[in-house]
């Protein structure tokens, strides 16, 4: 695709999901369909900090607050100034929640009652990263808990119920528990009122 597809009233799409929920696959497929750039902000940021500090993937609690705050400032700059961008990071939708020209998608993996399917997320991580059950479980459970504790303190006044995947921050929620990648992409595009002949 030579020219990026222009969407009415949308210059950036954010994709935010829990670990192993499927946000990377959805963001990649959206960017490919639209001819937009895909930036996996959180992973780029965390890998850089991890390498600098020689930390394990799950050890987000050891990351200095200054690093989080610096990344969020950079992310807000991207959200403010970029276009034709699919920005994937856990806090992208939260940071853009008041930006009318940013379409925000939350990705969850839940059953019909809204219960998170941890085992499915862990299995996906094992399949994707080729890691052990123990490593994948630590990544999903420990890292997620560490992140939430830190972000609740930094961004939510220590509210114990705050979650970044709260639907109030998003234009659409895609549940990957019942849908394959193609169906998730279709649902996201429909939520964005995307039509194939748009250009």
pLDDT digits (tens, 9 = 90+) for 27-53: 999 999 999 999 998 777 777 777 888
User: What's the rounded Cα separation, in Å, for the pair 175 and 130?
Assistant: 24
pLDDT at 196: 65
3-class DSSP state of 29: helix
Are 199 and 189 in contact by the 8 Å Cβ rule? The answer is: no
pLDDT at 61: 80
3-class DSSP state of 27: helix
Residues of the chain with pLDDT > 90: what percent?
76
Tens digits of residue pLDDT in 4-23? 999 989 999 999 999 999 99
3-class DSSP state of 3: coil
Tens digits of residue pLDDT in 41-95? 877 777 777 788 887 777 778 888 998 898 899 999 999 999 999 999 999 999 9
Report the pLDDT averaged over residues 145-164.
96
Tens digits of residue pLDDT in 169-195? 999 999 999 999 999 999 999 999 987
User: What's the rounded Cα separation, in Å, for the pair 90 and 88?
Assistant: 7
**Alpha-carbon distances of 78 from 16, 29, 74, 118, 156, rounded to whole Å:** 15, 20, 6, 31, 22
pLDDT at 197: 56
198 vs 71, residue with greater confidence: 71
User: What's the rounded Cα separation, in Å, for the pair 171 and 87?
Assistant: 15
Q: Token match 């991580």: residue?
A: 125
Tens digits of residue pLDDT in 122-131? 999 999 989 9
Report the pLDDT averaged over residues 139-152.
93
Please state the domain extents for the chain: 12-191
For the domain spanning 12-191, the CATH number is: 3.40.50.300
């Amino acid at each position: 695709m030579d020219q990026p597809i222009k969407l009415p009233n949308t210059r950036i799409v954010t994709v935010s999901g829990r670990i192993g929920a499927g946000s990377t696959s959805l963001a990649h497929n959206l960017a490919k369909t639209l001819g937009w750039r895909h930036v996996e902000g959180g992973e780029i940021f965390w890998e850089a900090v991890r390498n600098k500090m020689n930390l394990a993937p799950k050890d987000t609690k050891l990351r200095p607050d200054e690093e989080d705050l610096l990344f969020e400032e950079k992310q807000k700059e991207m959200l403010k100034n970029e276009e034709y961008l699919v920005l994937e990071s856990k806090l992208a939708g939260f940071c853009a929640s008041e930006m009318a020209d940013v379409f925000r998608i939350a990705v969850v993996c839940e059953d019909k009652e809204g219960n998170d399917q941890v085992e499915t997320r862990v299995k996906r991580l094992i399949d994707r990263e080729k890691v052990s059950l123990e490593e994948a479980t630590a990544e999903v459970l420990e890292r997620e808990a560490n992140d939430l504790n830190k972000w609740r303190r930094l961004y939510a006044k220590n509210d114990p119920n705050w979650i970044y995947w709260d639907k109030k921050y998003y234009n659409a929620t895609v549940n990957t528990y019942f849908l394959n990648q193609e169906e998730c992409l279709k649902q996201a595009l429909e939520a964005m009122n995307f039509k194939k002949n748009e250009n």
